[in-house]
Amino acid sequence: MRYGGDNRGRLLIIVLIVTSLFLITLDLRGVSVIGGVRTGTQTALTPVQKFGSWALTPFRNFASDVTHLGRTRNQIEKLKAENETLRNTLLNRKTADARLKQLKSVLNLAGGGGYKVVNAKVISQGPTTSFTQTITIDAGTSSGIRSNMTVISGYGLVGVVKIAYPDSSLVQLASDPAFRIGARIAKSEQIGILSGQGSRRGVLQLLDNTTTVKAGDALLARGSDSGRPFVPGVPIGEVTSVDNSPGAVTQTAEVRFYANFSTLGVVAVVIAKPESDPRDALVPPKPVPTPLPTVTIYATPAPSPSASTEP
């Protein structure tokens, strides 16, 4: 019995080997028997594969997320740091561009007037014990700056140096209520005293009540004898309104300063007056008005009723 079972087992193995060789031979010769079996098997297994993929996908994603969680968090922190660095770089670039623009503007004004200047950066702004409106600049006596020197920006008069320290200076702004400067109207010899009012507006009090001042007139610094505290020809502002009250002893006008005191970043201190008065050379040009668009309307006369009823 035992030998008969071994023979049947060997016979079964031989039959399977012969069958496999036969099927392989048919497949190599291009007979579609194996392809049909393979196609049928694949067709039968496809739904099972799809279900398995659908069921296992969340688990695979979860395992992948857990595996990459630490790496993703590090990448997020790295991107946040790079974003913050780029934002700071952009802000610094904008600040540098704005200061460069102000520096070029103030140098153009100083060059036009023939002023010898020392450039300075505004490091603080606010009231002091003596004045309500001042700025502090990062240049002082070590740069040749002394008290009672004119301070300008790219648009015109800013104020006057009141106290000079070795490496910084305190500047009284022209908008300070205690500020006074001798001024004249451009293209004329009309003179007056301009005083600050605590804002970008100043008040001009003309010495001659018979002269005519009108809105739009430019105001310039008259200048002091030695160029201190004020050099001549510095643009101050523009007349916006005139008070011609009858019976008034003097004539007053409201002036809008050219300089914007709240946006000062770079200024220049005039340390030497020009060889000659620039007169009206620094008067800013008038803005060119933008022409309004015109619309032409053509009217077409309606036909008369009598003409339409004639046969």
pLDDT tens-digit map of 82-107: 999 999 999 999 989 998 999 999 99
CB 200 within 8 A of CB 246: no
Q: Higher pLDDT residue, 44 or 196?
A: 196
pLDDT at 306 over 60: no
pLDDT of 273 over the 60 cut? yes
Residue 33 has pLDDT above 70, yes or no: no
Average pLDDT, the chain: 86
Q: What is the pLDDT of residue 62?
A: 77
Tell me, what's the pLDDT at 30?
A: 67
pTM of the complete model = 0.69
